[in-house]
């Protein structure tokens, strides 16, 4: 940075800096810390200077969700600004989700002014005392890669570029920058560079000797299987994984996938359950998968070799994770796949194909409306309603086996951290990033309530981001109920129809919430009517541009299907 004579505030320079570094949107939930930014936006509007587009989100969870969804489908990080410690507190669940799913977010918050009198931007409101915290970032430090409080205008460019480089470096994740009002309203005395001077760090290529070691294992393996949850986070992985599976005849299990990694119609797509493969496999390859099996239920054969690789194969931020590994490699998933593709194919290819053929599940019997509003039927109907441009966000309820995903980028699921309330904001972010997409968020009734429905539909309407939400409404927290049954199958609670902390009765008319926000809502109770209801709801979002909700009253099913 060079010294310059300027009548700009730091807030003005900051917004321009964000735009020049590729930040297209600033999702905000404002408070008394925002005036320097609001003034800067007003000046930018007058002068026509490029700044990120401001988007008001009336709950922090929706703001984070939008930045999340946008980055998830594009890889392009966006910014969020919330109100001091209180807004930060409301953001933590979303940030924790993002950190566990490697989603970059430029997360910022104001800070209670630190001066009591006589300084521009200093305290002028009773709230400025009680809101101050000793360590505002402390509450989310575990969920971000880096945090800092901007101390002086001269630091602006260095701090912003450092924050962005860290957030974008492999594996990506959120950072947190605190912006005090005194600094934002100060005069900017430096000139900032037009482009960043700090490149993010990229994932390394695998060393040839480690590739040779994996190659030796690959040559002699009769029953190799690859397990992944997140390989598809890098869209290039779809193609590389497909070619790898074909070249070496490797069964690919997508276990609890958060990103689609291989086409469901590919012969090497081995479904979503690793257990049958693990029981027989002699070589288990794991990439971008935090939990490849549940040790309490299944483990690889004692003589099986295990290889784990990816941008952080040991998941170093997880306190406890003990999945064994003969070779552990920190390297780009795609570069590693490419290096393995270059190896000669084994003589055992036909044996492998026979094995995969034996384990292949028979084709599913198509569900039917006569069986009632089962999760399988609702999932099947949604699958039938999808086209090439449909993007599905799944937060809990979808039976994946009923859908086909044949290209990258049209299926996403929630973070392994499982902080509910993700799909609503993320769906808006996806729609913002892909204006031609049909976005469908699949949620349970509990999840819908966690997702701040009114702020969600408000933003959907205000920003013209129509998305369809399908609520699988079983009038309960089924997951909680199932957890109790699995621990105490013969227990007292198992005898109860409505155990404590499990049921959501009386069930609200959720479809009326979207109606109150000017959208289209329908309750669907008759299974045979679901396809027609889906058509009407899709018409509402595609043709009328309205947010839509289908409140689908489902059977109560305790068995998880995916
Ligand atoms: C923020 C947060 N609070 C609580 C939980 C615990 N939890 C996990 S699943 C679940 C119930 C979800 O209910 P619903 O969306 O109706 O789906 P269902 O389990 O009935 O299929 C709850 C409360 C969580 N994961 N995240």
Nearest protein CA to atom 9 of ligand 1, as residue: 479
- The predicted pLDDT at position 561 comes to 37
Q: Provide the β-strand partners of residue 308.
A: 286, 328
- Asked if 358 and 313 touch (Cβ cutoff 8 Å), the reply is no
402 CA from centroid of ligand 1 (Å): 22
Choose which residue among 91, 93, 100, 418 to substitute to test ligand 1 binding: the one with the highest number of ligand atoms within 8 A of its C-beta: 418
Q: Is residue 202 part of a domain?
A: no
Residues 50 and 119 in one domain: yes
Distances in Å between the Cα of 477 and the Cα atoms of 190, 453, 485, 555, 558 are 54, 17, 13, 13, 10
351 CA from centroid of ligand 1 (Å): 43
Ligand 1 site, CB within 6 A: 93, 396-397, 418-420, 444-447, 450, 474, 476-480
What burial letters (b/e) apply to 51-80, b meaning 16+ CB within 10 Å? Answer: bbebbbbebbbbbbbbbbbbbbbbeebbbb
- The predicted pLDDT at position 364 comes to 82
- The predicted pLDDT at position 4 comes to 54
Q: Which helix (H) or strand (E) holds 535?
A: helix 530-542
Per-residue model confidence as pLDDT tens digits over 286-298 = 999 999 999 999 9
Q: Is residue 190 part of a domain?
A: no
Residues 123 and 241 in one domain: no
396 CA from centroid of ligand 1 (Å): 8
Backbone angles phi, psi at 382, to 5 degrees: -65, -45
476 CA from centroid of ligand 1 (Å): 9
Residues 22 and 160 in one domain: yes
Residues 116 and 169 in one domain: yes
Tell me how many domains the chain contains: 3
Contacts of 450 (CB under 8 A, 6+ apart): 420, 421
Contacts of 412 (CB under 8 A, 6+ apart): 69, 72, 73, 258, 259, 391, 392, 393, 394, 426, 430
Structure-token pair, residue 14: 């900051």
DSSP per-residue letters across 307-343: EEEESSTT-TT-S------SEEEES-HHHHHHHHHTS
524 CA from centroid of ligand 1 (Å): 22
Residues 423 and 342 in one domain: no
- Residue numbers of the chain with a pLDDT score lower than 70: 1-6, 557-562
Q: Is residue 364 part of a domain?
A: no
Q: Is residue 195 part of a domain?
A: no
CA of 474, closest atom in ligand 1: 20
140 CA from centroid of ligand 1 (Å): 22
Q: Is residue 197 part of a domain?
A: no
Residues 411 and 352 in one domain: no
Choose which residue among 441, 478, 498 to substitute to test ligand 1 binding: the one with the highest number of ligand atoms within 8 A of its C-beta: 478
The enclosing domain of 301 has a CATH number of: 3.40.50.1220
The enclosing domain of 53 has a CATH number of: 3.40.50.970
- The predicted pLDDT at position 2 comes to 52
- The predicted pLDDT at position 562 comes to 35
Per-residue model confidence as pLDDT tens digits over 339-389 = 999 999 999 999 999 999 999 888 888 999 999 999 999 999 999 999 999
97 CA from centroid of ligand 1 (Å): 14
Contacts of 513 (CB under 8 A, 6+ apart): 453, 454, 457, 521, 549
Residues 404 and 276 in one domain: no
CA-CA distance, 131 to 108, in Å (whole number)? 16
Residues 308 and 407 in one domain: no
CA of 420, closest atom in ligand 1: 26
Query: Domain ends where: 359, 378, 397?
Result: 359
CA-CA distance, 342 to 348, in Å (whole number)? 17
Backbone angles phi, psi at 396, to 5 degrees: 105, -40
* 276: region left, alpha or beta (phi > 0 left; psi from -120 to 50 alpha): alpha
465 CA from centroid of ligand 1 (Å): 26
Nearest protein CA to atom 17 of ligand 1, as residue: 444
CA-CA distance, 327 to 14, in Å (whole number)? 45
- The predicted pLDDT at position 560 comes to 42
Residues 294 and 406 in one domain: no
Q: Which of 461, 463, 415, 466 is nearest to 439 (CA)?
A: 466
Helix/strand/coil for 55: strand
5 CA from centroid of ligand 1 (Å): 55
- The predicted pLDDT at position 126 comes to 95
Nearest protein CA to atom 21 of ligand 1, as residue: 478
Residues 142 and 219 in one domain: no
- Asked if 520 and 544 touch (Cβ cutoff 8 Å), the reply is yes
CA-CA distance, 327 to 306, in Å (whole number)? 7
Straight-line distance from the first to the last Cα atom of the chain, in angstroms, rounded to the nearest whole number: 53
Query: Domain ends where: 359, 382, 415?
Result: 359
Structure-token pair, residue 337: 């796949």
Question: Can you say whether the dihedral through the CA atoms of 556, 557, 558, 562 is positive or negative?
Answer: negative
Q: What share of the chain is helix, strand, coil (3-state, %, to 5)?
A: 40, 15, 45
Query: Domain ends where: 168, 184, 200?
Result: 184
- The predicted pLDDT at position 7 comes to 85
Q: Is residue 87 part of a domain?
A: yes
Choose which residue among 95, 420, 453 to substitute to test ligand 1 binding: the one with the highest number of ligand atoms within 8 A of its C-beta: 420
Any idea how long the chain is? 562
Q: Is residue 199 part of a domain?
A: no
Domain region containing 510: 369-553
Max CA pair span of the chain? 80
Structure-token pair, residue 19: 């735009």
Residues 212 and 327 in one domain: yes
Q: Provide the β-strand partners of residue 9.
A: 187
Choose which residue among 397, 450, 562 to substitute to test ligand 1 binding: the one with the highest number of ligand atoms within 8 A of its C-beta: 450
Distances in Å between the Cα of 41 and the Cα atoms of 46, 100, 404, 411 are 9, 33, 44, 35
Question: Can you say whether the dihedral through the CA atoms of 204, 174, 71, 81 is positive or negative?
Answer: negative
CA-CA distance, 280 to 500, in Å (whole number)? 41
Structure-token pair, residue 329: 């490699």
CA of 445, closest atom in ligand 1: 16
Q: Is residue 561 part of a domain?
A: no
Distances in Å between the Cα of 186 and the Cα atoms of 20, 149, 179 are 21, 15, 12
CA of 447, closest atom in ligand 1: 15
Residues 274 and 146 in one domain: no
CA-CA distance, 310 to 387, in Å (whole number)? 32
């Amino acid at each position: 940075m060079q010294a310059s004579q300027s009548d700009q505030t730091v807030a003005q320079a900051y917004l321009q800096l964000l735009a020049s570094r590729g930040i297209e949107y600033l999702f905000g939930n404002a408070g008394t810390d925002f005036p320097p930014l609001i003034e800067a936006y007003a000046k930018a509007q007058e002068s026509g200077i490029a700044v990120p587009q401001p988007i008001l989100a009336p709950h922090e969870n929706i703001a984070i969700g939008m930045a999340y969804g946008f980055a998830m489908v594009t890889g392009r990080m966006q910014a969020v600004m919330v109100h001091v410690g209180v807004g930060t507190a409301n953001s933590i669940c979303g940030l924790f989700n993002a950190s566990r799913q490697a989603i970059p977010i430029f997360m910022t918050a104001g800070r209670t002014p630190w001066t009591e009198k006589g300084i521009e931007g200093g305290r002028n409101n009773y709230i400025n005392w009680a809101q101050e915290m000793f360590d505002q970032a402390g509450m989310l430090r575990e969920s971000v890669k880096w945090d800092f409080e901007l101390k002086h205008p001269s630091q602006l460019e260095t701090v912003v570029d450092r924050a962005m480089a860290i957030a974008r470096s492999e594996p990506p994740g959120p950072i947190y920058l605190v912006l005090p009002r005194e600094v934002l309203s100060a005069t900017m005395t430096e000139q900032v560079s037009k482009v960043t001077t700090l490149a993010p760090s990229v994932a390394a290529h695998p060393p040839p000797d480690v590739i040779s070691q994996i190659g030796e294992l690959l040559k002699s393996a009769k029953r190799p299987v690859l397990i992944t949850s997140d390989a598809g986070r890098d869209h290039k992985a779809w193609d590389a994984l497909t070619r790898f599976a074909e070249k070496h005849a490797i069964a690919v299990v997508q276990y609890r996938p958060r990103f689609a990694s291989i086409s469901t119609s590919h012969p090497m797509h081995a479904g979503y359950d690793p257990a049958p493969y693990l029981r027989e496999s002699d070589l288990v390859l794991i990439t971008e998968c935090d939990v490849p099996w549940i040790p309490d239920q299944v483990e690889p054969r004692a003589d099986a070799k295990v290889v784990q690789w990816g941008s952080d194969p040991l998941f170093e931020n997880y306190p406890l994770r003990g999945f064994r590994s003969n070779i552990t490699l920190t390297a780009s998933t795609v570069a590693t796949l490419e290096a393995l593709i270059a190896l000669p194919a084994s003589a055992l290819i036909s044996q492998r194909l026979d094995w995969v053929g034996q384990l292949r599940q028979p084709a599913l019997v198509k569900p039917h409306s006569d069986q009632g509003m089962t999760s399988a039927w609702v999932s099947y109907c949604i699958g039938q309603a999808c086209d090439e441009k449909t993007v599905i966000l799944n937060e809990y309820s979808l039976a994946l086996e009923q859908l086909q995903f044949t290209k990258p980028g049209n299926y996403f699921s929630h973070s392994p951290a499982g902080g509910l309330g993700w799909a609503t904001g993320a769906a808006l972010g996806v729609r913002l990033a892909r204006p031609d997409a049909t976005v469908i968020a699949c949620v349970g009734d509990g999840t819908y309530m966690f997702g701040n429905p009114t702020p969600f539909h408000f933003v959907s309407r205000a920003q013209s981001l129509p998305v369809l939400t399908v609520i699988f409404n079983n009038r309960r927290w089924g997951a909680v109920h199932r957890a109790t049954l699995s621990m105490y199958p013969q227990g007292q609670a198992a005898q109860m129809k409505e155990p404590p902390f499990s049921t959501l009765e009386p069930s609200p008319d959720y479809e009326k919430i979207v109606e109150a926000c000017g959208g289209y809502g329908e309750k669907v109770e008759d299974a045979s009517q679901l396809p027609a209801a889906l058509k009407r709801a899709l018409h509402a979002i595609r043709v009328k541009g309205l947010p839509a909700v289908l409140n689908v009253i489902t059977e109560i099913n305790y068995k998880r299907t995916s």
